[in-house]
Structure 1
Amino acid sequence: MSSTNQNAVATDDRMENSGAFRRFLDTVERLGNLLPHPITLFALFCLAIIVISGIAGYFDLAVVDPRPEGARGRADDGMIAVFSLLSADGLRMMVSNMVTNFTGFAPLGTVLVALLGVGIAERAGLISAALRGLVMGSSPRLVTFIVVFAGIISNTASELGYVVLIPLAAVTFHSLGRHPLAGLAAAFAGVSGGYSANLLLGTVDPLLSGITESAAHIIDPGYTVGPEANWFFMIVSTFVVASLAMFVTERIVEPRLGKYDVSEASEDVEHDEMEGLTAAEKRGLKSAGLTLLALSAILALTVVPEWGPLRHPDTGLVAGSPFLKGIVVFIFFFFAIPGIVFGKAVGTINNDRDVINAMSYAMSTMGMYIVLVFFAAQFVAYFSWTNLGAITAVKGAGFLQAIGLDGPLLFICFIMVCAFINLMVGSASAQWAVTAPIFVPMLMLVGYAPETIQAAYRIGDSVTNIITPMMSYFGLILAVACRYKRDLGIGTLVATMLPYSIVLFVGWTLLFVVYVFVLGLPVGPGSPTYWTPGG
């Protein structure tokens, strides 16, 4: 066969494969678009729980209660029976508790308090300046790793990662003579694909832990899950995810993109320049860094010594201490105070009114989240009251035990399911609020602690963010990419990010298996790997 014919066949194969891939992406997008808004989804779920509980209650659905007597709640005869919300008692319960379901929902207060501090640092310009300084100050040899690493760290204020870092990474790569879309892809992989990894505790940690705790109460009403529950594992994950994404960028994505042709750009990008740090910003970063060190030293004095006032007052240990229970308070201060110091240095914060305005702005961005929480809180409460969650967990745990699915294979399947659901429901909190009341009790009855289950969920929830059009910032990423390649579409962007998704899924899941099952390490401070009734 001539080389011309071979090239024609290869081109036809690529077109055919591209067409099949695009049809797959179109199917995912179409299915995702069929789903209603997450808030509407939760409202519909509440109605569904009411109807299903009525039907199940009519047929007296019940299972044997595997929990210890102290955790059995309504059932005192060794059975878990469905409680119908389509009854007089059910109606009274829903009406009487609607407000307290909302105000008592664990993630609500913790997320809002943490965001107050993050909001000050963000509005002062501290987080943006720190990201720019980190990326622009890195050596050309390490720039890929630093871009991904900065993307992961930016998740403490994820909006800035999308708005600031991803365009900055494209400009950085372009200025170094590398393909700007490779820089965009690397930053996108860090910000979104490594969403749950971080060295710091951010707003996502109390959000997920609160939902996990509520789900755990279906089986163990006294169980607590702190924001620090996955901290150790996420610190390790930060470096692993950054290394994996660097490998994909330099060995797969960038070679595939080839040499950049500026004529493909939709606008003039030839003279794109990075906005460097001003002298005031450099002084501000230095002052904020020294402030952070001082705060860390003060906190260490209250925790490290045996007489530390923030250690457990009875046992003297860090486990179960006021330090861990109040970790959200420290998130607030460790962002707010350095943010104020930085703002004073650069002139973005001059008085108390500026601080108040920064916190007010942060709260103003949470309107959608608060509405979502209202309906999610009702759903979680209904699921618990009706005992549908406990019954589903018992049936599901029995099925898993019957087929012998346990250990690493169980969690690999769980991560895979979470990753697939994430293609359709891009919000981490929305997905976990729906799935946690099912999977957390089910896997607890198999013998695993909620903290371990949550860590596995965070992997699945992260790795497919970068290949689903349902992700809220996907349109923004596409718009930035089109600056450098005018005809770039959704299929091309997803195809570029797909190697990251595959490698992160395999590598991060393997890390989880080795970390938890081979090394037997805790996923966070005081976080057990296994759960036993009454333990």
Structure 2
Amino acid sequence: MQGSNPPEGSPPNNNFEVEAKSSRMQRFLKGVEWLGNLLPHPVILFLWMSVLLLVLSALFSYLGVSALDPRPVGTEGRSEDGIIHVVNLLNGEGLARIVENLVTNFTGFVPLGTVLVALLGVGIAERSGMISAALRGLVMNAPKKMVTLTVVFAGIMSNTAAELGYVVLIPLAAVIFHSLGRHPLAGLAAAFAGVSGGYSANLLLGTVDPLLSGITQEAARIIDPVYTVGAEANWYFMMVSTFLITGLGYFVTEKIVEPSLGEYNPDMAGDPSVLETKIEGLMSVEKKGLIWAGISMLVFCLLLAWTIVPADGVLRNAETGLVSGSPFLKGIVVFIFVFFALPGYIYGKITGSLKNNQDVVDAMSHAMSSLSIYIVLVFFAAQFIAFFSWSNLGSVVAVMGATFLTDIGLTGPLLLVGFILICAVVNLMLGSASAQWAITAPIFVPMLMLTGYAPEMIQAAYRIGDSTTNIITPMLGYFGLIMAVAIRYKKDTGVGTMLAMMLPYSMVFLIGWVLLFWIWVFVLGLPVGPGSETFYPAR
């Protein structure tokens, strides 16, 4: 009987093996889901951790916990006696500091302003329909042999407006694959892998870049009070990663996932009407809008190049004449805003989706409203990071951790690989990239800085771990949406089915990305972004 143990001496029962693997996968995911559900909402988690941090600051201060200050004499922020003492934040002086700075901790939190500005531009491009039309045009006009490659690539590029990738591209990919006589779940899987598994790869800078770099900067300043991390910190590495993840996604879809799904049986559809869905091509006005939007992007890029490519470019560093430390890099969030807002506005005017100035304002307002939960999260995350810095717990933990790692000889590439794996595991239970990094950055960034690695490179390593397990965790905010789309095509789709389908992507992406990272950093010694350091100078 199917599902029971095969008779002794009989040939292997493929159905039994598949069911056994599926059962194990389901148990694994149920365990992840159970552990994840033990965690409160990230906002409440930050609140509890902030309270715990205050208590620990009082306890460790009373116990006299301290560490030698590794910073050279004369360095800003170095303690006078060369010893880092834990500061009690629950005494009168500490409580006064908390009350006085509660608001400024929030308003001065670096990622907040940068993300808000960048999202204003992305909001115009998204609301006008430009990004959606560009994704549809890219995927639907791809040659049949290039469809898989294009779907994964489009998924990666959609990360500049991640919601559209989930809402538009993933269902669209399933429809396109079915229309070509291929398994629709293979299209869904390829798009999901690009949108979520390749979340940190992109040719363009998006809203996630200033968000993460701001958190990294705050964490780095626990060790170096004047250290700055720009939104472009990982740009080079992420651009190259785009082609790697696109190629790996194509390989996994064509050689592993689609063959394992077999031939699609329409009778298995949970919603038969979905099989009659027709693909709507771009209307002539949409094509015209995309052409003029593309022209405006090109003109903007040429004008920008004119200010930074010549040796006397006005946006170069006035003192050194270099791009490093220039107004261009320091104000790159402004250029992200214009890069999306200008073509979005032009597309909207041509297609009629933005009829007047009020529509533009509404587009930006809508983008801001989508950040309501993020703003609440930032308030508590900002307090947690500030308390971590004021109490000196971050510095003490960093010094002790770095000393331990040095003593056991774990300071080479293996250290960064271990860090990536830790981030990948944590991501299974805490799916928000910003929440996870806000919690882990104050611990790992200072610690790894003291072992000799630069914050920009540490952030690049984090982004690998954060992205690769997005597609195999029920904690992902869009996991339920992906399941709903899958069930429409295959009514018996379960969580275990999704895991079995997406796990090959996760494993291949993780291995391939770690290998690229190792070659990039430790073999070629390349910077992960413009002006980004690989090693921390003050080691």
Using structure 1 for the length normalisation, give the TM-score: 0.98
Task: Report the count of equivalent residues.
Answer: 534
- Unaligned residue ranges in structure 1 (runs of 5+): none
- Equivalent in 226, 233, 239 of residue 229 of structure 1: 233
Matched, 1:122 2:122: no
CA contact 2:71–2:78 (8 Å) conserved in 1? no
Equivalences for residues 236-275 of structure 1 within 5 A:
236-268=240-272, 269-275=274-280
Q: CA RMSD in A?
A: 1.5
In the TM superposition, residue 74 of structure 1 has moved relative to its aligned partner by 6.7
Equivalences for residues 296-315 of structure 1 within 5 A:
296-315=301-320
- Unaligned residue ranges in structure 2 (runs of 5+): none
- Equivalent in 34, 43, 54 of residue 39 of structure 1: 43
In the TM superposition, residue 70 of structure 1 has moved relative to its aligned partner by 3.7
In the TM superposition, residue 23 of structure 1 has moved relative to its aligned partner by 1.3
Take 1:98 and 1:69, find their aligned partners in 2: how far apart are those partners? 31
Q: Give the equivalent residue in structure 1 for 2:106.
A: 102
- Equivalent in 356, 359, 368 of residue 361 of structure 2: 356
Take 1:458 and 1:279, find their aligned partners in 2: how far apart are those partners? 39
Q: Give the equivalent residue in structure 1 for 2:323.
A: 318
Equivalences for residues 12-411 of structure 1 within 5 A:
12-71=16-75, 73=77, 75-268=79-272, 269-411=274-416
CA contact 1:114–1:202 (8 Å) conserved in 2? yes
The DSSP-based 3-state class of the residue aligned with 2:276 is coil
Identity within the alignment, %: 64
What CA deviation, in whole Å up to 9, does each residue of 1:114-142 have, x standing for no partner?
00000000000000000000000111111
CA contact 2:77–2:224 (8 Å) conserved in 1? no
Aligned AA (1:261): N
In the TM superposition, residue 8 of structure 1 has moved relative to its aligned partner by 7.7
In the TM superposition, residue 346 of structure 1 has moved relative to its aligned partner by 0.5
CA contact 2:173–2:191 (8 Å) conserved in 1? yes
Take 1:472 and 1:180, find their aligned partners in 2: how far apart are those partners? 22
What CA deviation, in whole Å up to 9, does each residue of 1:286-336 have, x standing for no partner?
000000011011111111111111000111110000000000000000000
CA contact 1:62–1:391 (8 Å) conserved in 2? yes
Take 1:428 and 1:92, find their aligned partners in 2: how far apart are those partners? 32
Take 1:93 and 1:518, find their aligned partners in 2: how far apart are those partners? 46
The DSSP-based 3-state class of the residue aligned with 1:274 is coil
Q: 1:263 to 1:226 in 2, by over 3 A?
A: same
What CA deviation, in whole Å up to 9, does each residue of 1:429-463 have, x standing for no partner?
00000000000000000000000000000000000
Q: Give the equivalent residue in structure 2 for 1:498.
A: 503
In the TM superposition, residue 73 of structure 1 has moved relative to its aligned partner by 2.8
CA contact 1:71–1:219 (8 Å) conserved in 2? no
In the TM superposition, residue 7 of structure 1 has moved relative to its aligned partner by 6.2
Q: 1:311 to 1:189 in 2, by over 3 A?
A: same
Take 1:285 and 1:266, find their aligned partners in 2: how far apart are those partners? 36
The DSSP-based 3-state class of the residue aligned with 1:141 is helix
CA contact 2:84–2:395 (8 Å) conserved in 1? yes
The DSSP-based 3-state class of the residue aligned with 1:63 is strand
Take 2:15 and 2:121, find their aligned partners in 1: how far apart are those partners? 54
In the TM superposition, residue 4 of structure 1 has moved relative to its aligned partner by 11
Q: Give the equivalent residue in structure 2 for 1:430.
A: 435
Take 1:252 and 1:70, find their aligned partners in 2: how far apart are those partners? 58
What CA deviation, in whole Å up to 9, does each residue of 1:397-446 have, x standing for no partner?
01111111122111110100000000000000000000000000000000
Take 1:291 and 1:78, find their aligned partners in 2: how far apart are those partners? 56
